[in-house]
Amino acid sequence: MNFREHIWGVEPAKPTRTAGGKRRRVPRRPTKPSAMLGSTLKPKKGEQLSFAHTKTWGGPRVRSGPKAGLRPNVRHRTRAMHEAENPVLVTLRRAKGLPSLRTDRLHRLLREAIRATRREGFRIVHYSVQADHLHLIVEADAPSLLTSGMRSFAVRAAMLVNRRVLMRRGHVWGDRHHRRELTTPSEVRNALVYVINNHLKHGEWEVGLVDPCSSAPWFKGWMHRREPEPPEPDAGAPPSTWLLEKGWSTVGLGYLNVGEVPRPVRG
């Protein structure tokens, strides 16, 4: 019995008895035209065809569905409307086959792209560079400014990486960016922990509790950190929304702990 016969419930051939009393199976007559079955037998005139022997586009297929270990792409559907008073958590994933983004050279280029993307009405405030993806917390004064700002950053970063490191033309980002609107102080605080301490989530403990491949060295909301800021200026822009400037510190433990392990962000 083939797969379609099993799905549509085709009954197997019934055994019959020969003259000597022994059982034998009688092969079923194909109920599909020879052009489909590759057989010379044709159905009888007026004989009803079985669903198991007709071509259809529906129903389950063998080995269909999501494959284990593969991350699905961002769905091409209408994004949530952006409000100017809400920060946005953005994730960009590196294309397959490229080196780690946490190398010194690539990290410097990404910081350069973040600094150069600063413009009126659009700001990248915090960032975290991981091996195969990049997290950003951005602010935008309008939905169109958010879209154009993220497009500008993605194109600028890809051009810098291709020209100065890869020496070729091609995709640097494997998918369009994923974004999540942050509407409450709790969501903003969780997103700050998730971005600034993201290296702890991925087991990058050897670099210390403060990740140098992020905006954490310039972050002013630490609870116990006393180290001075790096001499070079921060690539990110200062926040302007209430939620990202001070609203996040009014909930939970208030300021962030340098060893606070981030929780998964839903949505």
Q: What is the pLDDT of residues 73-108, one digit of tens each?
A: 666 666 778 999 999 999 999 999 899 999 999 999
pLDDT of residue 33: 46
Choose from 53-57, 165-169, 213-217 the range with maximum mean pLDDT. 213-217
Q: Provide the 8-state DSSP code for 214.
A: B
Confidence of residue 152 (pLDDT cuts 50, 70, 90): very high
Structure tokens at 116: 């150069």
Instruction: Name which of 149, 165, 146 is nearest 107 in CA terms.
Output: 165
Q: How far apart are CA 12 and CA 30, in angstroms?
A: 13
Instruction: Name which of 61, 177, 66 is nearest 117 in CA terms.
Output: 177
Task: Report the Cα 64 to chain-centroid distance in Å.
Answer: 21
pLDDT tens track for 193-215: 999 999 999 888 888 889 999 99
Class of domain 88-250: alpha beta
pLDDT tens track for 4-53: 555 555 555 555 555 566 666 555 555 444 444 444 456 666 666 665 55
Reported for 57-60, long-range contacts at CB under 8 A and 24+ positions apart, including other chains, are 59/4, 59/7, 60/7
Domain ranges, ordered by start, for the chain: 88-250
Mean pLDDT of the chain: 82
Q: Provide the 8-state DSSP code for 206.
A: G
- Decide the pairing of beta strands 178-181 and 88-93: antiparallel
Q: How far apart are CA 31 and CA 240, in angstroms?
A: 72
Q: How far apart are CA 24 and CA 39, in angstroms?
A: 23
Q: Is 125 helix (H, G, I), strand (E, B) or coil?
A: strand
Q: Any residues with CB less than 8 A from the CB of 111 and at least 6 apart, and which?
A: 127, 235
Q: Any residues with CB less than 8 A from the CB of 125 and at least 6 apart, and which?
A: 87, 137, 138, 139, 215, 236, 237, 238, 239, 244
Contact 128, 134 (CB under 8 A): yes
